[in-house]
Amino acid sequence: MSIRIACSEKNIADDAVTELKNIFGATPLKMIVYFASSDFVPQEISATMQQVFAGATVFGCTTAGEIISGRMLKGAVVAMAFDEESISEVRVEVLENLSKMMAVNEAFCSFGKYFGESMDSMDPSQFFGIVLVDGLSGAEEQLMDTIGDKTNITFIGGSAADDLKFSSSHVYANGKAYSDAAVLAVLKPGTSFELIKTQSVSPLGARLVVTKANAEQREIVEFNRKPASVAYAEALGVPVSDLATCFPRHPLGLLIEGEPYVRSPREIAGDSVFFNCSSVDGMELTLLEASDLVGDTKAALDCVLEKLGSISGVVVFNCVYRAIELDKKNLADEYARLFADYPTIGFNCYGEQFIGHINQTATMIVFR
């Protein structure tokens, strides 16, 4: 069984993909997942990847930085190749026009036909899903909510990014580049796997109940029946004028059986606070404090290594906020080294998916 990785720092799609092809060689491949800098022309990189790896199922997305075993990159393309033994079956569907409609039913019917069993009866220990979604679509919550209603298998992934330009991000499949879209892949690996959600935050005491929200805009108008910015600042014990500077260190989280599902604040507008993830009326959010990102991630990987015994591949969906924090603290190399012993690819994303849509988190697929 073989899971292999490759990267190229060439900035022309043809050259970069040729380099990947040379690294992977002539072995027949079943599936290729890739993450490419938004510096590449989207149509070119997607068409070239599909053309060069014509026999494989090929999909990916744009990034805000790429990850490969032991290194964090900028302006590159990273890819992971799976042979027939490492992936038994895979099927990809693209959901277009996410902001207008969410054709999850059609995609799930197609998965059902391909795998010979309906999505609501698939065994989560045998199957999982990857979701790559346009990170500027604002559609992740509804997408994950709809998916979750229809299946017990876990969908994990990340929101495509565009190197913090906030202009356009793309998902790739079928040799095409799509905006306002999501790529869904359902996989039956040829080996056991574990899915990780890790975030480096600790709950502080304060609770903020959402009493008025505009979920579609990811806006919270009121906490505890007070203007959101005022209640948030009070919980931190700082003046509202200092609140925004506290955002990276003190996001909020929905605690579910002690496990945080992080909501990262983005900006203050008037009395409202806008987040990178929506909350609805009645949700009780907990004030969080950032903790040891490198140490927590290592602990999560070590725990899975102990469960699986060995690791043949890791796909990392790493929040861009985590990447920014690592850069600020000069810890990016130390973080990258956590993955040095495992064939790993990943990217810095505009949101992470694990059951729902979350922020300031790393979600990971780990293959034995």
Partner 1 sequence: MAGKIKLMIDDIIARRAKGNEIMVKAMKTKLVLKGINPDKYTIRSEDDQAIIGKLEKILQEL
Q: Indicate the residue among 48 and 199 with the shorter CB distance to partner 1.
A: 199
* CA–CA gap between residue 367 and residue 253 (Å, rounded): 28
- Distance, in Å, from the CA atom of 46 to the CA atom of 176, rounded to the nearest integer, reads 5
Distance, in Å, from the CA atom of 361 to the CA atom of 288, rounded to the nearest integer, reads 13
Residue (171 or 358) nearer to partner 1, CB: 358
- The least CB distance from residue 18 to partner 1, in Å, is 42
Q: Which is nearer to partner 1, 69 or 359 (CB)?
A: 359
Distance CA 253, CA 261 (A): 5
Considering only the stretches 36-44, 53-61, 95-103, 145-153, report the one whose residues sit in contact with partner 1 under the rule CB under 8 A: 145-153
Q: What's the DSSP call for residue 139?
A: -
Taking the C-alpha atoms of residue 206 and residue 161, their distance in angstroms, rounded to an integer, is 32
Q: Which of residues 150-189 bind partner 1 (CB under 8 A)?
A: 150, 152, 154
Task: Determine the interface stretch with partner 1 among 35-43, 222-230, 256-264, 359-367 (rule: CB under 8 A).
Answer: 256-264
83, 84, 281, 289: which one binds partner 1 (CB under 8 A): 281
Cβ contact 294:338 at 8 Å:
yes
Q: How far apart are CA 215 and CA 203, in angstroms?
A: 23
Please select the residue that binds partner 1; options are 28, 258, 282, 309, rule is CB under 8 A.
Answer: 282
| DSSP bridge partners of 7 | 78
From the list 52, 103, 230, 355, which residue makes contact with partner 1 (rule: CB under 8 A)? 355
**Do 155 and 317 touch, CB atoms closer than 8 A?**
no
Judged by CB under 8 A, the number of residues near partner 1 is 21
Distance, CA of 236 to CA of 206 (rounded, Å): 8
Q: Which of 9, 145, 234, 296 binds partner 1 (CB under 8 A)?
A: 145
Q: Which of residues 115-144 bind partner 1 (CB under 8 A)?
A: 120, 124, 144
CB burial of 290-300 (b: ≥16 within 10 Å; e: otherwise) equals: beebbebbbeb
256 vs 285: CA distance, rounded Å: 10
Among residues 204, 269, 280, 299, the one that binds partner 1 under rule CB under 8 A: 280
Query: What x/- string results for residues 207 through 246 when contact with partner 1 is judged by CB under 8 A?
Result: ----------------------------------------
Residues that bind partner 1 (CB under 8 A): 120, 124, 144-145, 148-150, 152, 154, 254, 256-257, 261, 279-284, 355-356
